[in-house]
Structure 1
Amino acid sequence: MTITPGAPPPTHHTPLALARGFLTGGVAGTSLAALVVGGIIANVPLFVAGLLLPMVYGLLFFLAGAPRRAREADAVPRTALAVIETLKAIGGESGDIPVRFELSVVPDDEPAYRVETTQDVNLVDLSDYRPRGVVVVQYPSDRPWRVRIVKRPTPEWEDRAASARLDSVPEAAKVAAPPEGCAFAFILVLGLLLGAAAVTVLFRGDLLNRDDATKPPSAARPTVSSTSATTVVSSASGTVTLGPGQSFLGKGELDRAVGSLTRGEDTRQALTVVVQERLLSIVFAPTGARSPEFDPRALPYDRFAALVEEARTTLGVHSPTNWQIITDRLTGSLVIRVVVNGPGGTASLDADGQGNVVRRLPAR
């Protein structure tokens, strides 16, 4: 039989396929970003949404494709003869094994073409297939590359296959499923990136706050030239507030701040000194009153950063979110107490007037 090779089917992408790729990428990016961001900022609804979104999308995708699958199931496949060019077993050695066939398909009313297909064949029937053998195949009319060998054809087609003599189709007429190509991959990645970016932008405030709260003291220490502070002093108390991105654990910050509150007065004593990341508060002792006071300038401020670091890392508070140092003499001797809080609970340690740790209370 003389064969007229046909041209392979077009491989360009339809707008619908590109839109579906963009939507799939967007759902994947949004879901992954929601899981990551929700886990970081402890946002349970966002995390759950990241889990449910691909499930909902998959369900909608399945339902949207139901009419197409129904049409494909109702469509009558085309039947044709084909000659086996090559075959190769690519699986195991028991039961049904996958075999890769290269076929020259010769439809009755369409141009012939060449195609590769993989099909499971029982070991018992493997000897029925040999190079240059003629077989009966079926395929959807709109997807000729989805060829399946008919194992038990009708008697009419079985007789035709037994008596047919078919020529090989040239390699140039080989058909295959349309490749995804660069355009589809680009659209898919673009959708993924945009989906991830949308979640990140929407929750950037929570992420930034989380970063500020969990930043270690060493990373938050500002330089002297970048320090800006607001100082409020009265007869009973004084406060110093640092600007964003600064910390009182920075070298020399507390000495400067205490000096600005005491105004160089050697006799000004304190009842309590409270230090937080960006806030220093001093409650001054009333003049002439008998109270457990102390000199705020005599505290070992150079030890405060090390005490905070020890409290954050050794007392069992995982991922601590804030800390504060409280200094007083309410029990008679000077006590410097460092308190840290976090998801793992609250813990504290006490130090003496020289900054030496005397007691630890781990998180429970």
Structure 2
Amino acid sequence: MTITPALPSTVPTRRSPLDLARGILTGAVIGSSLAALVVGTVLERVPLLVGGLAVPIAYGLLVLAAGAPERAREAAVLPRTALARIESLSATGGETSDVPVRFDLTVAPDSGPAYRVESTQSVNLVDLLDYEPGGIVVVQYPPHRPWAVKLVKRPTPEWEDRATAAHIDSAPGPALTDEPPPDSTFGGYLTLLALLLGAAGVVFVFRADLFGPEDPTDRPPSAAGPAEPGTSSTTIVSAASGTVALGPGQSLFDEGRLRAAVDSLTKGDDGKRQALTVVAQDRVLTVVFIPAGSQAPGFDLDALPYPRIPALVREARTTLGVRSPQTWQLTAESLSGSLTLRVGVAGPDGAASLEANGHGEIVRRVSAR
């Protein structure tokens, strides 16, 4: 038999556009899913955790469904049968009765040039003596994948007779492997880039929650500095109440800000105007004044323990079991006869509060349940 030193023309050398697109989509799904799991864990967002698990599962099922027709077509194609010469063989390991053996073969199809191929297959130790260099064996391979060669252990009598009488010359190399890897360097870079972009996209969407501005209640009072004149705020004063709304980037928790806001509501008074209640949130202060001539119990605004208020708010936010507090509110009143301060916080874990006396000393705690 005359051998033509040629390789099968059907061997792929690079990825198709569909393979590249599938790799990009796979990288994006993996990256976004992993990022969703991490971000969902950090932010304690159940929908993100569910999405991080459901998206890759749904994508895997979609890939299986999309590839089902192609797999069915490949299964319907009958494999080709040919004779092959064993150039060399070597066992590559194994601790059971079936050991992996790497065969170097010269495959001689009936309708095409002969070619060299390397194929690793499991062979029982009992049958290993039937294979030796120079021997002729019967092999099968898919028409579209001539490198995927498998030995036929029990050929038909016709092919067994042909193998016994055949003589095949060795074909020159290089030998094809079981499935030659495509040129995947560029495709691998695209997949990695898609993975990073998918993860970055999830982080970007939730960047405000992850890397939002520092909560003013988490800063020490000395870090904020004293209130500066001229900062943007809105002040509304009437006979019954007064309101101060601070502009963006400010907080009543900043050092000196609460006292300055209260003073802006009593500016021009004779100093004897008393308050019924004081309610302070992050950027809004509301003071309800006692009407003239009323006998309702009130308190002097100068009696508020301003230096202690930031510490009370911080104490309520960090020690009452509300791990991610979203709102806080300070209420001061003297309806019971003595000045009482209450700080309430609320978040995903529930609501909690603490109560302090007029000196800013904590007298009661109500933790989140």
In structure 2, C-alpha distance between the alignment counterparts of 1:43 and 1:240, rounded to whole Å? 34
Q: Does 2:233 align with 1:232? A: no
Superposed CA offset, 1:273-323 (max 9, x none): 112122221112223432322222332222222222222222222322211
Cα 1:310–1:281 shift into 2, 3 Å = same
Superposed CA offset, 1:109-168 (max 9, x none): 333333333323333333333445443221112112222121212233334434545455
When the two structures are superposed, what TM-score results if normalisation uses the length of structure 2? 0.83
Q: Out of 266-275 and 175-184, give the one that drifted further.
A: 175-184
- The corresponding residue for 1:261 is 265
In structure 1, C-alpha distance between the alignment counterparts of 2:245 and 2:307, rounded to whole Å? 19
- The corresponding residue for 1:4 is 4
In structure 2, C-alpha distance between the alignment counterparts of 1:331 and 1:169, rounded to whole Å? 104
In structure 2, C-alpha distance between the alignment counterparts of 1:86 and 1:219, rounded to whole Å? 72
Q: Does 2:67 align with 1:65? A: yes
Q: Does 2:338 align with 1:333? A: yes
- The corresponding residue for 2:180 is 177
Q: Does 2:102 align with 1:85? A: no
In structure 2, C-alpha distance between the alignment counterparts of 1:111 and 1:84, rounded to whole Å? 17
Structure 1 gaps, min length 5: none
In structure 2, C-alpha distance between the alignment counterparts of 1:216 and 1:110, rounded to whole Å? 78
* C-alpha RMSD of matched pairs (Å): 3.3
Q: Out of 5-14 and 29-38, give the one that drifted further.
A: 29-38
Task: Give the AA of the match of 2:121.
Answer: Q
Q: Residue 43 of structure 1: CA displacement?
A: 6.2
Q: Out of 173-182 and 323-332, give the one that drifted further.
A: 173-182
When the two structures are superposed, what TM-score results if normalisation uses the length of structure 1? 0.84
Q: Does 2:277 align with 1:277? A: no
Superposed CA offset, 1:312-354 (max 9, x none): 2222223222111111111222111111112222111111222
Q: Residue 362 of structure 1: CA displacement?
A: 1.3
Correspondence for 1:126 among 111, 125, 128: 128
Q: Does 2:100 align with 1:98? A: yes
Cα 1:158–1:264 shift into 2, 3 Å = farther
Cα 1:279–1:14 shift into 2, 3 Å = same
Q: Does 2:300 align with 1:291? A: no
Cα 1:255–1:103 shift into 2, 3 Å = farther
Q: When the two structures are aligned, how many residues end up with a matched partner?
A: 360
Superposed CA offset, 1:17-67 (max 9, x none): 222223333443454455556666676666545443333333332232222
Counting aligned pairs with the same residue, the percent is: 56
- The corresponding residue for 2:365 is 360
Verify the 8 A CA contact 2:85 2:134 in the aligned structure 1.
no
In structure 1, C-alpha distance between the alignment counterparts of 2:347 and 2:132, rounded to whole Å? 72
Superposed CA offset, 1:187-244 (max 9, x none): 333444555566566x55xx63686699462259756569532222222222222223
In structure 2, C-alpha distance between the alignment counterparts of 1:61 and 1:16, rounded to whole Å? 13
- The corresponding residue for 1:244 is 248
Q: Out of 227-236 and 273-282, give the one that drifted further.
A: 227-236
